Amino acid sequence: MGECMNGFMDQLAANRKENLEGGGQAAIALQHELGKMTARERIDYLVDEGTFVELGSRTRDPRNDLGELTKPSPSDGVVMGAAEISGRQVMVYAMDFTVMSGSLGEQGVWKMAELVKMAGQEQVPIIGMFDSVGSRITFTRGFFGLNGLAHLARNYCLYSGVVPQIALVLGPCAGPLAQIPVLSDFLIMNQNTGFLWLGGEIDSEDAGRADFHMEKSGQVDFLADSDEEAMDLAKRLFEYMPGNCWHKPADMEPSDDPERREEALLQVMPNNPKFTYDIHEIIDLIVDDGEFFEVKEDFAPNLVVGFARFDGMAAGIAASNPDEPSGGMEPDSSDKYSDKYDRFMMFLDNFNIPLITMSDTTAYPPGDRWERMGVIRHGAKNLHGYSHLTNPKVTIVLRRSYGGSNITMGCSKMGPDFIYAWPTVEFAPTGPESIVQAVFHKQLAKAKEEGNYDEVYNYYLDMLKERFSVMNMAKGFTHRYTVHEIIDPRDTRSIIIKSLRATAEKRETLPEKRHWVKPA
């Protein structure tokens, strides 16, 4: 090797050595004491061994060259590059807390912004891991990173729906930077070390913690007990995604019988419609190997959303849960279902993932309280979002389908490819009990005077329930409440699989427009 090249190789070796040391052994030891992995350890755990190609490793805080900074700033606190997960290409970055507490430097933020752009242009998913106290501010240079932060945010927005975006908050993530993981499609948070906060005073002990953002703000999709579990969740989530919006998720080799019938499905639903059941019991019986990957598990539990496979085919499931406030569509569940966080319904459509809707709900709650909370506009988002879906859509109506829920939950003429109903289904403009009170109030008043109120009430109720039964409604195929077929509950799994196969090559177009305007 020539003397000139040898000098450059020495510089390159020194650069790599400094990068591997991060903020120094003391900072690395502290990171481990806090229960956190280092940025490089996280990337090594997340991606396939030997596939990580680092980018921007020579980057440093400009103050190093100006003599204004004595602390090391390897990679300016951001380790990033291209890699593979399960043999599939991704772009990945991790903020390095050992370097000045992961503070966001003007070069580091530009690296992240450029990597997101590269992921969009190369059409591969982007995964970001956040562990940062926020913006790096100095007396001598102020903070020059806002320009880069704006570039980062814009790139996340521009390439949303082009490539999947996964964020992991594994430590603090504060200030304007906190908006970036929320812009991602899915947010995974370490509930022991993660902290997400935009700014201002903290008035409660749980504010900013993972449970707070799962149960109250609804901004977190998955909780983890450790960095390793968070990355395992990311890898599992990755399995349901294609590389970009032009592809479909890869099928997996099925290990479950597509024709499997479940006798237990006949026992899940109580005879009395006033009694509840847990929708998870049905989901677990019909998906491949009982594996359901639930999203936002603890937020608005009256609506259950998540991923599963049917004969190896990836699908998203949105199901009303009668076990939680009768499966009603209150504002939080409406947001959970629709596209407020660009998380589920639109994500499925963007990335060609079929939607399985399972409906058993008493519809939107009436009354002053809910009207003040904007139940109308929240429901309008559902209607607007579902109307624009072009991905395969299969609806299974299980029991009650009252009022606006019939439209919102993928029934009627909202555009599902197939609508199936269990024979237990009731279609009605509102609950039959309310209709009896409203329509037959004179007869009931008279019955109350004559002492046979219960007998008269039950007579009219049974008459209406018979009239609203899908077994009668389905006799009219093109009007009223329409289903394509009434099915034996035990055949639910095989019917879904056959329907997904039938829609595998589906092509649906929408009216030409620049873009839609969402309800408020």
State whether residue 469 is helix, strand or coil.
strand
Give 362-396 as a 3 state SS string: CCCCCCHHHHHCCHHHHHHHHHHHHHCCCCCEEEE
The rounded distance, in Å, linking the Cα atoms of 396 and 420 is 5
CB-CB neighbours of 166 under 10 Å: 25
pLDDT of residue 315: 98
The rounded distance, in Å, linking the Cα atoms of 166 and 146 is 22
In 3D space, the residue among 213, 214, 215, 218 whose CA is nearest the CA of residue 196 turns out to be 213
Chain centre distance of CA 93: 21
Q: Enter the tokens of residue 133.
A: 């106290």
The rounded distance, in Å, linking the Cα atoms of 322 and 324 is 5
For 160, 339, 499, 509, 515, the CA distances from 512, given in Å and listed in that order, are: 20, 21, 28, 9, 9
Q: Burial level of 14, CB count in 10 A (0-12/13-18/19+)? A: exposed
Q: How many CA atoms lie within 13 A of 18 on its CB side?
A: 18
Q: How many CA atoms lie within 13 A of 164 on its CB side?
A: 28
Q: Enter the tokens of residue 81.
A: 């590059």
The rounded distance, in Å, linking the Cα atoms of 295 and 342 is 13
Residue-level pLDDT, tens digit, the chain, 520 residues: 556 677 788 888 887 888 788 888 999 999 999 999 999 999 999 999 999 999 988 887 776 655 556 677 788 889 999 999 999 999 999 999 999 888 888 888 999 999 999 999 999 999 999 999 887 766 445 455 678 889 999 999 999 999 999 999 999 998 889 999 999 999 999 999 999 988 767 777 777 787 787 877 778 999 999 999 999 999 999 999 999 999 999 999 999 999 999 999 999 998 887 788 999 999 999 999 999 999 999 887 888 999 999 999 999 999 989 887 655 555 555 555 443 334 688 899 999 999 999 999 877 666 677 677 677 777 777 778 888 899 999 999 999 888 766 777 777 778 899 999 999 998 877 778 888 888 888 898 898 888 999 898 889 888 888 888 888 877 776 666 678 999 999 999 999 999 999 999 999 998 998 887 877 6
In 3D space, the residue among 149, 160, 130 whose CA is nearest the CA of residue 339 turns out to be 160
- pTM for the full predicted model: 0.89
Q: Where are the alpha helices (DSSP H) in 299-415?
A: 331-337, 345-350, 368-372, 375-387, 405-408
Single-letter amino acid code for the residue at 191: Q
Chain centre distance of CA 14: 43
In 3D space, the residue among 510, 476, 475, 250 whose CA is nearest the CA of residue 387 turns out to be 510
The rounded distance, in Å, linking the Cα atoms of 361 and 277 is 12
Q: Burial level of 491, CB count in 10 A (0-12/13-18/19+)? A: middle
Domains of the chain (ranges; CATH) run: 13-238 (3.90.226.10), 265-425+469-502 (3.90.226.10), 431-467 (no CATH)
Q: How many CA atoms lie within 13 A of 468 on its CB side?
A: 22
Residue 516: partners with Cβ closer than 8 Å, 6 or more residues away: 384, 388
The rounded distance, in Å, linking the Cα atoms of 181 and 116 is 12
The rounded distance, in Å, linking the Cα atoms of 359 and 281 is 14
